[in-house]
Every structure is written in structure tokens, then in C-alpha cells.
Structure 1
């Protein structure tokens, strides 16, 4: 009996020794110093949500940018617009001390994205903004003003009330979009809709696009004058055929008629990720770096798949974002700066059955020394359609990933992955020492875990549970929480659940495995010895979270 018990005890003893050895090796490593931020840039964000502000700050740090944003008292807060006058004064005071200014026109004119969807700006108010930008440039001629503006989405403004009328306006928009594209439509249905929609609602709806078109033409003129160094026009929550696409076509024709270079005025799909992609483009322009990006897909259906809330397919979206950051698609995988591995699964089309093969492919690419930016999309926003759980099960070394994104729409996720991966690869090209290369990698690992913890653990697992719990308690509108009654409770649920995920996640081999890096400044190995998070709901709704991870990283 004693002999039978001895073997398990002996195994436990050696396991303990092995773990102790691993801990000693990790502890014996050198703590990686923080990234030095020696480049200053201003950001007037689209709104105060983390994707529009915090993502830019965290990703900018990878490339050494100190991204400064306006004080919180000037920022918008959910439905409360920002202080546009205060924001303009802040820009005037701070622009001289920075290398560039990333400016959301929607924030400067309306007070943020949500305000822009509802508020109107008169021609005089538009002209006042145009004159402000002219003066800002005149006062700071050496500081590039990089502006972005968002086309209205086709969803009717909240001030247009009535379920049926809003539904009719959406149907009307789709038919008008098809008609403008030269496609045949049901003319009787279009006539019925025009009769059913009240003249007041129709006029209000169409005037919103006309106002935005006139504003964007004035901004394009500022590019021609040299006031704006670059202008990016984004399309929020698009569809293939809609009235926003009519406005977009008008603007495209106007840009062509003004003979403006394609890199000066850019039309793109998406909104929240635009500031981050513009920062990556600015970094590439400053360093002369043109990232060579190889596109790989999890399934042969993925390139032509159109994901929810998108007007174009995945391949076109990726190519659009590559162009936006000043990169180039390459067919040479071995010499690519990184591989954009685009996974977009849909269980209804049986693409999920190839996931294990995809994981093995990622392992093989990593073993070859390839940098991989993984976009992990899900048609139904479910964990079962993503690659991450299989990567965890297979002990894939997550810290070797150059980027990860699976948040919200395809344009948001693809743009975020491409931009952060480009900031990282660009920074590593110009690092002055092996120690700096380590700090760049450590900053990248921080942003990597931010994205994994939010995009997978919260958005694919926790959000539905929290929403369901709130609704069971009688709170029907999880997009507009009552701060006095359920916001604290919702935060408690969020923190309890996410801390539970974190406790298991950081003990996986996928996180604890040593990550080996090959850089121009030399090779090194990094470990994540511990990982903590700070998180909360930034706005009174469950749609997004504020999450900042702190990985404790040591090097050998």
C-alpha cells in the first residue's frame, strides 16, 4: 500500500519542483522598463468611449506617443454633448506644444458622435468652425491638422418618433440607395413608402444628410487650401444600398473634381477606429515606414463575407484599412512585416468546423517566426464562432501575437488590428537598443491583453449574462442604465465575473508560456508573471467597458 501511494507523491514532488523552477526563472528575469513617451500629439476624440480615446492612448504608447486628450469636464458623456467652445480653446492653447493634432469634427461642431446624430448645425455654425480651423492653422503652420468626420448612419434620428415611421424610413433609404445605384426596384413600394412617411419626418431625415454633405465639402476645401493636412471621412454602420451611400458617392465625385491626391482625402467605412488608424498613418509618414502586410483567411468564404453593419466584404475592408495607414498588401508571406489573419466564422455556413485547422496554421506560422495580427470575428457575436478558446486550449503562446481584435463591426476590429500592429512593427524598426525593443514589446503585450479580455471575455461571454440578469430584475433598457439604481450593481456584476475570468486566464499556459521575440536589435524572451485589470462601465450602458490591464513582465 505504501509503495502504491509513493508514486503519486513522487510525481507531485517533481511537479512542485518544476513549477518552483519556472517561478524562479521568471522571478530571476529582469523587469522590463516602461516605454519612454517622447513624441507628443493631441487627440480630440470622436467621443469619450474607450475605443475612440483610450485605444489611441494605449496603442500610441507602443510607438512612443504621449497622446493628450481634453480634460474630462470638456468631454461628452453619453447623451450629454461636449463643450465645443471649451474644446476649441483647449486646442488653441495646446496645439503649439505638439507634433500634430488629431481632430474629430463631430466633437468640435456637435459635441460628439451621439450628439452629431441628433443635433443640427446651421451654415453659419459650420462656417464658424471652418474659420476656427483656418485660424488654428495660421497660428501653428508647422503642426499638421489631421481631421476626421463621420457620415450619418441611415438609422433615423431619435427625434423622429414612431416605430412604423422609422421602419418605413429605413426601407425607403434602402430602395433609394438601390435606385441611385442603377438597380431595378419596386416602384409601387417606393411610392407607398413616400405616402406613408410624414412630410416633416422625411424632410428632417433627408436634411441631415444634406447638411453633412455641405459640411464635408467645406472640409475638403480646407484640404485644398492647405489648412488640413489630411481628412478622413468615415461611414458609420453602413449597408450596401442606402441614402448614406448616395452622399458618399457625391463626396467621391467632388473630391475627384477638386483633383485632390487620394492620400489627402480618404473615404472609409467605420468610425470608432479612425483616430487610431490615422495615428498609425502619421507614424508611418514620419518614419517613412510602409508596412508590408500579407492577408490570410480562416476559410475560403471569409474574403467575400459581408459582416453585420458593413457595406463591403472583409477583403475590401482590410485593403481599405491597409491603404489608410499607408501600408501595402504583399503576396510574399515570408517577407511581410506581419500577417493579417482574418477569421470570420458563421455557424450557419459551417465555417466553424475548420477552427482546429486554423489554430494549427497559426501555430505553424508562429513557429516560422511570423508576426501575426489576428482578427477574430463572429457573425452572431458568440464565443463558439471565435478562435480564441481553441488557442487557449492548445496552449498557443498568446504573447507572441502582434495584435488581436474582435470588437463590434468588421471595420472596427480590422482597423484596430492593422493600426496597432503597424505601430508596433514601425516602432521595432526604429528602436535604438535591445532594451527599447523590450519595452515596445511589453507595451504591445499590454494592449494585446486589453483587447483579448474585452473583445472575447466580455463581449462574447459576459455582456449577455449581465443584460439578462438586469432584464430579469425588471431593467429593460440596458442601453440606458439608471445610475442611481442599477449602474453600481451592474459594475459589481462586471467586476466579479471578469475577475473570475482573469484568475483562470492568467494561469493558462497560453498566457504563462515564455514568448520569444526576434527584432533588429536582438532576440529576447518575455514572461508575463502576473496580470491585473481595472474595469468599469464608462457610460450608463453595457455596450462597452473601460478596461486597463497591467501585465507584470520580465525579460531574459
Structure 2
């Protein structure tokens, strides 16, 4: 039984014990069931990076928080894993579907290649690029009043799958890193570089380098389209970045071009990440519509969290956060007291002994969000047996209809292990999770931070409007639904459930859980996923953390979740991500 499997089992047993304690000894308060529905008053057409939920469904869900009908293409146009999308059909759909009053968010990789995986493998000769440029100009001519927010992803350092020799791929990666270091002005060992070059065939190196050259040419054309107004805004993302490599050379070059053309952040922006960019662009669009430009504080209990470089990242957590804040149109606040909202970073690494800092993080959230059980001056025991007294401020956050400060929690794990995140400790302390503005703990830092900030910014931008009680309830309900979706996937599935599921698949004969045969085993694999997640949901939904009331200040009342259902499946033939539909059932507190 490996480490991650043991961690998932321990997490399940812990939550089962908590659920028994809370559900048996703390009966729920009287509730009045309601079903708030958000009115969708505008449309955004979305050409997603690919068909995975973070790139498509999350954007649709965030749109509902913002009162926006996000319309993705028909399924028959979309990619499916290694099968590219139908780019011609996608372009026809977008041209025909757009109408006055719409805005569009476009993935260049989808329109040009048919998705991110296809973009990693296919070539983009000048004629193919020019055909896309002509299409974008034609779209602008046909729909001059429709804003076009486009994004494109720089190639990652990892070689294309067509270069399939194990030793040659390893040599290419090491070679790319050394070339990147030399380009950054660092001293490298020329003999090591030559030895690596000798292991790489001329054909493979030409294929690898051509990919970056073609992408650089494409980005130059996209920047020019932004300069002349064909594109309203362009975001260039760095996929699975590293501190040094040939991708960073391309990134530096395109940044120089942007600077020389005098383009602003609102016109052209470079960022780390890929999957979350459409979410962040939607949030920037919502903030702009509501004239909401948040001051955002970034804080952490662990002094090393901000400067820690997590897996698949070229920069530390604080740098990623600052980028996403600027992309949203916000500014970085030095202190929480001066901020409109707070991003709390938990980025734990058991190898660096950072787990002990989680208790300070729990105390932070107890102070900011309150406690699901206590009243003023009540005492209870901490996990270490010491008594503490709840402050009046924390009690006010817990029991009144006044809003707690908007805090988004990014809960990262260096080893993608259920023993590292903060969430189970918050549940153990009865921290009222529905009072969080957002939660994200996806395996990639840029994805998690971008998602959490997007959800929070959209919620807060809309909350500043004059809302009727029905609108306020619907806004709160959609925000909490997205929050629970992220908790159940990013922690319960990705940290606690995925390893036991992979273990069961391997026992059944799968040697590669990233290449499942869902044509013949979809029902069995999906049933196993649903059963595992249903077990977690049954335990979680009986905790005081989930059932704690949360305020709807515009309506002067409180809501609570009295039940929670989930439906899950594998969107692609691999276990790395799931399609998850979380349905919380809400009630007014009597």
C-alpha cells in the first residue's frame, strides 16, 4: 500500500469520524428549502482550449456566477483527447453564432490546431497561419462591434510525441535547459552541451526547434492583429513552464515585440499557465463591465509559501499570483486591511517540513471566517488539548448576516498527497467552508491561483451591484456551488481518491491509467469513480464545516446547504481529470 493510498484512506476515516460526531451530536437547525436561479443577461461565446472541464465547463460555471450565458461550441466540433477538434466547423460556428451584444473568448490553439494536445504535435507553416489571420480579419469585418479576447499557448519544453526515443527525449530536455540558461546569461558547461547534442539526431532537433520558430512567427502575427484592433485583447500563456529552456527564449523575444509596439497589459499580456486563461479572461471581462478593479492582498501562514516553486512552474507562487491579479485588472495590496479581497496561499511540501505551519493557517481562518459551533466567550479545546476563547469579531463572522471578508484559498500540495493540503484541518476545526469566496487546489499552481481569483473577482464584482433579494441569493448559491465543485474535485478526488482508483485499475490489468479503454470499460470505470466520490460526499456533507450558514448581505439573511449530491465521469480516457457536477441544496435559515 503506497503513501498516497494510505493518505487517502486516512483522510476518508478522519472525515467519517467527523461526520459521525457532527451528525449524531449536533442536529441541524430548522431550514426552509429554496432553489435560487441566476438570471443570465448577456452572452459570451467560448472557443475553449480543449474539451476538458477546466477549459470549458469551469468557464460556463463561472459565467453563471457573473450572470453571463457562456456558450461553448457544439460537442461534434470539439476535440476528444488525442483526436483534434474540427477547426473548419469551429470557425463556421463562431462566425454564424456571433451577434450584436456578444463577446467572444477564443483559443487560438483550438481554432488553428483543434486543441492543446494537437497544438503540441502539429506543424504551423506560414500558409496555415495566414489562413487563420485571414479568418480573424474576416470575423472582425463581419462583427465589428463584438469584442474578441484571444489567447495562445507557447509550446512547452517537453519534446513532441513524434520524437519517441526515450534517451533522445531526455537529451533534448536537458539540451533545451542548458540553451535556456545560456540565453539568460548564465555560465554553462559547453562540453556537457556538446555531449547532449551528440545524442540528438539532426532530424529530431530540427523538428523540435521548428516548433518554437513557427510558434514565434504565429505570435508575432497575433500581436500585430492586436495592434491594429482585430483582436481586442491577446493573452499568451506558458504551458508547463520551467525556469530555463528554449520556451523562455521565445517568451522573452515576444515580450520585446510587445514593448516595442507600445501595447499595454489590457491589450497584450504574457502569463504562466494555460488551462485557466479562459477563466481569467472571463473574470477580467466581468470586472471591466462592473467597473470593479480589486485591490488584492496575497498572504500565507507559511513564510516559504510565496517563494516556493511548485511542480510544472517556472516561477514562484507569489509571481503567479501577481500576474493573475494584473490580468484581472486588479492591483496588489500590501496589507489585508487595504484590500478588497485576499488570496491565501497554502503551498505545502512535506520534504521541507512545512506542514506544521498549517495550524497557524487554521487559526487565521477561524479568526476571519468564524467557527461553525461557537458563540462569544465559549471555549473549546484545540487539537493539542489547549483551550482557546473565541473573539467577538470571529463570533460576529460566524453568527451574523454581515459578510466575512472575501478570502480565496489556494491549497497546493507538492506531492499531490492528501496529507499535505490544509482543507482536512479546516474541516476538523469546524471552519465554515461556504464562507470562503473560493477554493482551488489543482495540481498546477497557475491553474489553481487563476481559478480561485477568477471565481472571487466575478462574485465580488457582481455583489457590488444593487441586487434584489432573489438575485443576491442566486449569486451566493452559484458561487457556493462552484466552491463545492472545486473542493470535491481538487481535494477529495485529486488528493484522496485518484490513487485508490488508479490502484484498482492497475489490479484489473491497466498498466497506464493515462490511456484507458473507455470504449469497452466506460461503465465500470465510471461506476467505480461515482461510488468512491459518493462515499466522500456522504461523509463531507454531514460535517459542520459544510452545513454552517453563510450570509447573503444584500438580502439581510443567511443560507445553508442541507444536502449535497454529485455526478462524475471521465471526460477523457484517463484518470487525471474528471467531469464533476455538484448539486448543493440550499435553505434559508429560520
Is the pair's TM-score, using the shorter chain for normalization, greater than 0.5?
A: yes
* 4+ runs deviating over 4 angstroms: 15-18
1:75 maps onto 2:78 in alignment: yes
Q: Which moved more, 1:252-261 or 1:216-225?
A: 252-261
**Secondary structure of 1:550's aligned partner:** strand
Deviation string, structure 1 residues 68-113 (Cα, Å, up to 9, x no partner): 0000000000010000000000010111155210000000000000
What corresponds to 2:46 in structure 1? 43
What's the CA shift for 1:474?
Answer: 2.1
1:168 maps onto 2:203 in alignment: no
1:429 maps onto 2:472 in alignment: no
The partner residue of 1:534 within 564, 567, 581 is 567
- Structure 2: 5+ residue stretches without partners: 1-22, 370-393, 398-403
1:387 maps onto 2:426 in alignment: no
Q: 1: CA distance between counterparts of 2:142 and 2:69? A: 22
**Secondary structure of 1:70's aligned partner:** coil
**Secondary structure of 2:509's aligned partner:** coil
Q: 1: CA distance between counterparts of 2:316 and 2:552? A: 33
What corresponds to 1:439 in structure 2? 474
Q: Which moved more, 1:368-377 or 1:389-398?
A: 368-377
Where do 1:129-528 residues align within 5 Å? 129-366=132-369, 367=394, 369-518=404-553, 521-528=554-561
Tell which has more relative contact order, 1 or 2 (C-alpha 8 A, sep 6+): 2
What's the CA shift for 1:431?
Answer: 4.0
Deviation string, structure 1 residues 105-163 (Cα, Å, up to 9, x no partner): 00000000000000112211100100100010111111100000000001000000110
Q: Which moved more, 1:546-555 or 1:482-491?
A: 482-491
Superposition CA RMSD, Å: 1.4
Q: 2: CA distance between counterparts of 1:469 and 1:235? A: 34
- Structure 1: 5+ residue stretches without partners: 1-14
CA contact (8 A) 1:42 1:98 kept: no
1:63 maps onto 2:66 in alignment: yes
**Secondary structure of 2:124's aligned partner:** coil
Question: Would you say how many aligned residue pairs link Structure 1 and Structure 2?
Answer: 535
Q: Which moved more, 1:395-404 or 1:482-491?
A: 482-491
What's the CA shift for 1:298?
Answer: 2.3
Q: 1: CA distance between counterparts of 2:411 and 2:82? A: 31
Q: Which moved more, 1:425-434 or 1:328-337?
A: 328-337
Q: 1: CA distance between counterparts of 2:24 and 2:363? A: 30
Q: 1: CA distance between counterparts of 2:455 and 2:204? A: 42
What's the CA shift for 1:335?
Answer: 4.5
Q: 2: CA distance between counterparts of 1:188 and 1:149? A: 36
> TM-score by structure 2 length?
0.89
CA contact (8 A) 1:234 1:267 kept: yes
Q: 1: CA distance between counterparts of 2:367 and 2:325? A: 24
Q: 2: CA distance between counterparts of 1:336 and 1:31? A: 33
What's the CA shift for 1:65?
Answer: 0.7
What corresponds to 2:579 in structure 1? 546
> TM-score by structure 1 length?
0.94
Q: 1: CA distance between counterparts of 2:520 and 2:128? A: 39
The partner residue of 1:86 within 89, 95, 106 is 89
What corresponds to 2:9 in structure 1? none
Q: 1: CA distance between counterparts of 2:468 and 2:331? A: 27
What's the CA shift for 1:401?
Answer: 0.6
What's the CA shift for 1:338?
Answer: 1.5
